[in-house]
Amino acid sequence: MSDDESKATSGPECKSWMSLICGWIYKEEPGLPEEGIAPGTAWDDVPENWTCPECGSRKEDFEMITI
């Protein structure tokens, strides 16, 4: 595999974000297709009006975490 192929398949590091209200975790890698958020969608690209599917908290109530 060439360096270009390696970069194309590895992509940027995906992150996870946790609701400070209920503990539900949004993971960038799988996204949330059932809510129209494609796999690999960065947190910054999740719509501002999106809310947690568990508790309804807003994006501002989430914090990046390391899993």
Measured CA to CA, the distance from residue 47 to residue 43 in angstroms comes to: 9
Enter the pTM of the model. Answer: 0.77
pLDDT level of residue 2 (50, 70, 90 thresholds): very low
Work out the number of other CB atoms within 10 angstroms of the CB of residue 3.
7
**pLDDT tens by residue, 7-65:** 333 445 789 999 999 999 999 999 999 999 999 999 999 999 999 999 999 999 999 99
Domain ranges within the chain, ordered by starting residue: 16-57
Helix then strand then coil, % of the chain, to nearest 5: 25, 20, 50
pLDDT at 66: 87
- CATH-assigned architecture of domain 16-57: Single Sheet (2.20)
pLDDT at 12: 58
